[in-house]
Structure 1
């Protein structure tokens, strides 16, 4: 059975590593350390020009929760248009109400915009904050999303595998269920076998040291606990090992 391996990246440097490792789709973000935010237009355009597989842009205008106001929605509309203009194949989004339900009214507005531009739509792990997983899944299917990314409402997909399996059964082919969070070569075959998913999501993230020869260590660009001179990058071997494990063990 063929598997889709979606790799989440937040730098253009990571793209060739993800592709060489065997990614079949890219989720493009900024700030993976914050769970992924909307990438810049420049990053979207570069990825579209260089990728040999579909690229989906995260549409998340800020860190924090998934309860968005009208100004947030306006930002997301511009960003969906930018993803189309950049030449990407899809977008990734998720909006909730204050009571932990899928915000179908506002989601529909954005999803209809994306579909009108020929973009596919993935509903992201905002789902894992929903009160009622089964009800939320039906809402997401009704909205016309092509896939749902979930950890099974657990810290990792392996821990949430039982719920993911239930969602696969409930979906009955109406939407793809993609397992994500903590996916690696050691657990990907087990996840696929136990849950029935054919799509898995990981970042394979690591870091590299800065190539700067001079560093003013006393000057900080952000939070004191963050090293300004560590560059996040996808580890090609991690992706390759996971892709190989899926092919041979699932």
Structure 2
């Protein structure tokens, strides 16, 4: 793990991914399954195996299905069990998100899960459900009101975060002085990451397909690509 201030989070879908990302210098993992569906909750066995295999923090997605980010009572009951299971497996945190049918943050659902996460001592990242919110500024204000939410993963409401530099920069400005970090992800590339960080001022970036073999979300983590991203981030930090 690097000691420079720009955090690099890498998606892992297997134990091999996790080990490769750590060897190459990633600071944190997001563990998911079903990448093609945007990421779903992995099995307890996989969570335990990854936590045992690496020393860097492992955040685990808690998302019961890929139909939408609008969840019913049964979905939330499942998610509550999963948050507890993630904590019991020794993970660092959970990555979750939920909206109302009107495109607003589901405050009641989020409060339920953050209360459980806080009791279990795990961090909470609000994932890219945020990007589907009706009003990003309003949604961000809501999330800032939740002490347990320490990270917001976002592409600035665009398919690629590279097309949302101004939005990301504004979210970063609004996050200053709070306990919440803007984690920029989706569409980042090795060549573009340094300029993106300089333009937006982000303190944390998230890579998936950009550091995988063939640039495919279904490919394995490519250690050489992770090393290149680390070098680019180190260069920006040292400039």
Normalising by structure 1, we get a TM-score of 0.88
Instruction: Give the structure 1 partner of residue 91 of structure 2.
Output: 88
Query: 1:183, 1:236 → 2: CA distance?
Result: 16
* 1:249 matches 2:200: no
Offset of 1:16 from its aligned partner?
A: 1.2
* 1:238 matches 2:225: yes
Query: 1:39, 1:133 → 2: CA distance?
Result: 28
* 1:148 matches 2:158: no
SS of residue matched to 1:146:
strand
Query: 1:34, 1:206 → 2: CA distance?
Result: 19
* 1:181 matches 2:179: no
Runs of at least 5 residues in structure 1 that lack an aligned partner in the other structure: 208-230
* 1:162 matches 2:166: yes
* Cα offsets for 1:172-222 (capped at 9, x unmatched): 231100100012221111111111111000022237xxxxxxxxxxxxxxx
Query: In 1, are the aligned partners of 2:15 and 2:53 still within 8 Å (CA)?
Result: no
Alignment of 1:27-176 (within 5 A): 27-144=30-147, 145-174=149-178, 175-176=180-181
Offset of 1:74 from its aligned partner?
A: 0.8
Runs of at least 5 residues in structure 2 that lack an aligned partner in the other structure: none
SS of residue matched to 2:219:
strand
Offset of 1:22 from its aligned partner?
A: 1.1
Compute the RMSD of aligned alpha carbons. 1.4
Offset of 1:64 from its aligned partner?
A: 2.4
Higher helix share: 2
Normalising by structure 2, we get a TM-score of 0.92
User: Among residues 199, 203, 207, which one is paired with 2:204 in the alignment?
Assistant: 199
Offset of 1:17 from its aligned partner?
A: 1.1
Query: 1:205, 1:62 → 2: CA distance?
Result: 24
* Bigger-Rg structure (1/2): 1
Query: In 2, are the aligned partners of 1:9 and 1:32 still within 8 Å (CA)?
Result: no
Across the two proteins, how many residue pairs are aligned to each other?
228
Query: 2:141, 2:115 → 1: CA distance?
Result: 17
